[in-house]
Amino acid sequence: MEKKLTGKIAPDRIRLMETPRPPRGLVERFQALGDATGIVSDVMDSLGITGIVGASLLKPTIAGTCIVGPALTVRNTVQREHPYETAKAKVNKMAEFEAHNLAQEGDIVVIQGVAGVSNMGGISSQTGKRQGEAGAIVSGGIRDVAHSRSVNYPVWASEITPVTGKSRIETVEINGDIEIAGVRISAGDIVVADDTGVCFIPRARAEEVLALAERKHELEVIKCAALDSGTSVADLPTNA
């Protein structure tokens, strides 16, 4: 069914109307690894792939949550006009709701946002939850954290602030390339996020990363079982 745009962003600024889908079963296999950003980070290091951002920068709003899914990207910039003037004129150029409008089941909204103001609030989070999104990653501020928690919509963000972005932010692109903490992210790249941080995996390398992460996870399970059984430290497996 054709998507009806909300009109908050020019159609030519939406690079892809549909986020590229991961191979069948890939998301579920990543999910089976649990809180695996440490393992995935090690594998990406071994393959020379950049894409790790720690939870000290992108902090989760719901502890104990792990999400995996394709990135639906949004790029925001600061409006040129003074925010008090745009607020008085009721000018709102934020268009993350357009991203929600385009979202497919399991997508993760990833926003290259603006610092010091909110790039996503509670109603936006509730909309994302209703659309079936797994959650959101925001470089920049968010607000209404209690609201997003109440609908079980997890967000990883660099800031939390009550200051609205409605009169301060302009969304300039959806499903184009963005950059967060020096990491380049494209629509459809695989996002793995947990309490430890966020891994952005290039879509073309995701199956390669997954296969090695599964093997590393198996070895760590063996090592933990050996610990539980009382195996001496000197005799523990060392290849995990």
Has residue 1 been placed in a domain?
Answer: no
Contacts of 238 (CB under 8 A, 6+ apart): none
How does strand 155-160 pair with strand 178-180? unpaired
3-state SS of the chain: helix, strand, coil percent to 5? 30, 25, 40
Structural domain of 133: 11-235
Consecutive H or E run containing 99: helix 96-102
Q: What's the pLDDT at 1?
A: 47
240 lies in some domain: no
pLDDT interval class at 120 (50, 70, 90): very high
Binding-site residue numbers are: 143-144
pLDDT digits (tens, 9 = 90+) for 3-42: 788 888 999 999 999 999 999 999 999 999 999 999 999 9
Task: Identify the CATH number of the domain in which residue 138 sits.
Answer: 3.50.30.40
Residue 170 lies in a domain: yes
194, part of any domain: yes
Q: How high does pLDDT run on average in the chain?
A: 94
Task: Kindly state whether residue 3 falls inside one of the protein's structural domains.
Answer: no
According to the model, what pLDDT value does residue 190 have? 98
Q: Which of 111, 72, 109, 76 is nearest to 93 (CA)?
A: 76
Indicate the number of domains in the chain: 1
Show binding-site residues for substrate: 143
Rounded distance between C-alpha atoms, residue 124 and residue 140, angstroms:
15
- Sign for the CA dihedral angle at 16, 171, 160, 89 comes to negative
Q: Give a yes or no: residue 5 inside a domain.
A: no
pTM to 2 decimals?
Answer: 0.93
Mean pLDDT value across residues 106-121: 98
- Give the number of other CB atoms < 10 A from CB of residue 200: 25
Mean pLDDT of 149-162: 98
Would residue 112 count as lying in a domain?
Answer: yes
Predicted confidence at residue 227, as pLDDT, reads 85
Binding residues for Mg(2+): 144
Task: In whole angstroms, give the CA distance from residue 125 to residue 136.
Answer: 8
Tell me the pLDDT tens digit for each residue of 39-89. 999 999 999 999 999 999 999 999 999 999 999 999 999 998 888 888 888
Indicate the helix (H) or strand (E) that contains 96: helix 96-102
Which residue in the block uniquely carries the two structure tokens 């994302």? 128
Query: 168 versus 7: which is more confidently predicted?
Result: 168
Q: Is residue 180 part of a domain?
A: yes
